[in-house]
Amino acid sequence: MDALCGSWKMVKSENVDDYLKALGHDDELRQIGNIVKPMITISQDGDTVVVKTETSVKSSESSFILGQELDHTTIDNRNCKSVVYVDEGQLVHVQKWDGNVTTITREVKDGQMIVTLTFEDAVAVCAYDRV
């Protein structure tokens, strides 16, 4: 988990449009999602993890106690039940809403934070450099 703490700027993404389309987002939101390059800051204090996402369009900050489910509104305005936990060096975030489940994993590989977003058959992968 310590390796993930800090600020990260997106430098590359793959299949974000497919992921957003699978979530049911319209063309306008998908276009924005394909253009923005978020800055993500992750911090941890004991069992509490804070994930702050900043873009030129919208920003959000979410605080999670590892392993505890809570109500959470995503940056794209989905009201979810979320749980965040650490598994083999990955920060795993599971979001559930209206019978749907998406998983976001964050891990450090070769000095980059790799974020994998999975919903049904759609998988997007984003790479972030530490800033």
Give yes or no for a contact between 5 and 106, defined as CB atoms under 8 angstroms apart: no
| Residue 53 belongs to domain with CATH number | 2.40.128.20
Give the containing element (helix H, strand E) for 31.
helix 27-35
Q: Encode pLDDT of 28-73 as tens digits.
A: 888 887 788 999 999 999 999 999 999 888 889 999 999 999 999 8
Residue 80 has pLDDT above 90, yes or no: yes
Q: What is the rounded CA–CA span in Å between residue 16 and residue 8?
A: 18
Q: Are 72 and 81 in contact (CB under 8 A)?
A: yes
Strand partners, 75: none
What residue numbers bound the domain in which 93 lies?
2-130
CA distance 20 to 131: 26
pLDDT of residue 1: 84
Please give the share of the chain, as a percent, with pLDDT higher than 90: 77
Q: How many independent structural domains does the chain possess? A: 1
What confidence score (pLDDT) does residue 51 get? 95
| Residues across the chain | 131
Q: What pTM was computed for the model? A: 0.93
